Amino acid sequence: MAFEFTDSNFQDTALAVDTVSVVDFWAEWCGPCRMVGPIIEELAQDYEGKVTIGKVDVDTNPETSMKYGVRSIPTILIIKNGEVVDKTVGVTTKKALADKIDKYL
């Protein structure tokens, strides 16, 4: 199950950790987001214990979305040591995301 990032837990769970975090910015009403959702869930299982993979609902967490300049969704950030090291906007494949995650492990 993908982790649920929020405005209140983002600092502690995505930034102040020694692992890689993958953050999917999405919204319930977003068609392309619903296409990426199952990929995020599969990756969360595949990388369980190695990478924190989760989602930020942009409608209920506007602070985090604004902080990272998320204007289009889905936007997927890969964060390592508190810094954004990769950004994908739009629909992508599981393999493309897995390759990017592996690059930062």
Query: pTM of the predicted model, to two decimals?
Result: 0.95
Res 97: pLDDT: 98
pLDDT digit string, tens, across residues 7-38 = 999 999 999 888 899 999 999 999 999 999 99
> Which residues neighbour 105 within 8 Å (Cβ) at sequence distance 6 or greater?
20, 50, 51
Residue 30 appears among annotated catalytic residues: yes
Catalytic residue (one of 3, 9, 27, 30)? 30
List the chain domain ranges.
Answer: 3-104
CATH numeric code, 3-104: 3.40.30.10
Catalytic residue (one of 22, 33, 36, 70)? 33
Residue 101 appears among annotated catalytic residues: no
Average pLDDT of the residues in 77-86: 96
Instruction: Using the predicted structure, report yes or no on whether residue 85 has a pLDDT greater than 90.
Output: yes
Sheet holding 83-89, edge to edge: 3-4, 51-57, 20-26, 75-80, 83-89
